[in-house]
Amino acid sequence: MLALHADRLVARYGPVTVVRDATVRLEDRSLAAIVGPNGAGKSTFVKVIAGVLKPAGGRVYLGDEELTGLPAHRIARRGLAYVPQNANVFPSLTVVENLEMGGFTRKEGLRPRISEVLDIFPDLARATKKRAGTLSGGQQNMLAMARALMLDPRVVLLDEPTAGLSPAYTQVVWDQVQRVTKTGTAVLVVEQNVDLALANASYVYVFVAGTNHAEGPSADVAALDLAAIFLGRAGAREH
């Protein structure tokens, strides 16, 4: 079943349209990525889905439910979580306290959900009593992701979860993103690095200039001349 359908979204900053008729369909339990050059509107697109920005056009559905235009906190409670680029954790709180904050609107099942989430992230499970501010950058990114999972979302949006991390740790984060999909949450990741997106996501969207340029299963998108699309910027594939 379709977990998320962002249908022909339009977004503007003042008079400037930066997302035009952009569409993404995400199946339940699947892992899809959005790639595209700097300024292509990837972050703006996921912000509109998450309710952080109001759409100037288009519709957002979570399963059969329409979310278009709802405020961000209501979208989160309906089951769509969002982890922004440079997501912050509460540095003076411990790992477990950060997870409690993520789950504070849960009516029940807080402890069991903390255990389930820690099962996905072994690094965090080993550091439950550490203050978040003492974790590495990569671990803090994972804590932000873990916190977003506390409400057991149907869909999670991750905007560049591996930005600024070492190559070794980048793959650790991607492995854990894949484990998230195994627990029943569909994941849509914005990723600057095309090779990583193709290696880890099963379906890839290419956005250029605020709209869909190409999409398909990773193997099909890998065969496209992405270097030309990206105008030779770093991270594009050479052919």
Ligand X SMILES: Nc1ncnc2c1ncn2[C@@H]1O[C@H](COP(=O)(O)OP(=O)(O)OP(=O)(O)O)[C@@H](O)[C@H]1O
Q: Which of 44, 98, 141, 193 binds ligand X (CB under 6 A)?
A: 44
**Contact 143/137 with Cβ under 8 angstroms?**
no
Question: Which of these, 19, 86, 26, lies nearest to 56 by C-alpha position?
Answer: 19
Q: How far apart are CA 208 and CA 1, in angstroms?
A: 27
Q: Is 43 in the site for Mg ion (CB under 5 A)?
A: yes
With a CB cutoff of 8 Å and minimum separation 6, the contacts of 234 are none
Per-residue interface string for the shown chain with ligand X, residues 15-34, x marking contact by CB under 6 A = ---x----------------
Q: Is 218 in the site for Mg ion (CB under 5 A)?
A: no
Supply the minimum distance, in Å, between the C-beta of residue 34 and ligand X: 8
Supply the minimum distance, in Å, between the C-beta of residue 127 and ligand X: 29
**Contact 27/3 with Cβ under 8 angstroms?**
yes
**Contact 43/85 with Cβ under 8 angstroms?**
yes
Which region among 14-22, 38-46, 166-174, 180-188 touches Mg ion (by CB under 5 A)? 38-46
Task: Report helix, strand or coil for 25.
Answer: strand
- Nearer CB in complex with ligand X: 216/235: 235
Q: Is 138 in the site for ligand X (CB under 6 A)?
A: no
- The interface with ligand X within residues 155-194 (CB under 6 A) comprises 192
Q: Is 104 in the site for ligand X (CB under 6 A)?
A: no
Q: Which of 22, 30, 33, 41 binds ligand X (CB under 6 A)?
A: 41
Bridge partners, 32 (sequence order): 188, 203
Q: Is the dihedral of CA 127, 133, 137, 140 positive or negative?
A: positive
Residues that bind ligand X (CB under 6 A): 13, 18, 36, 38-44, 192
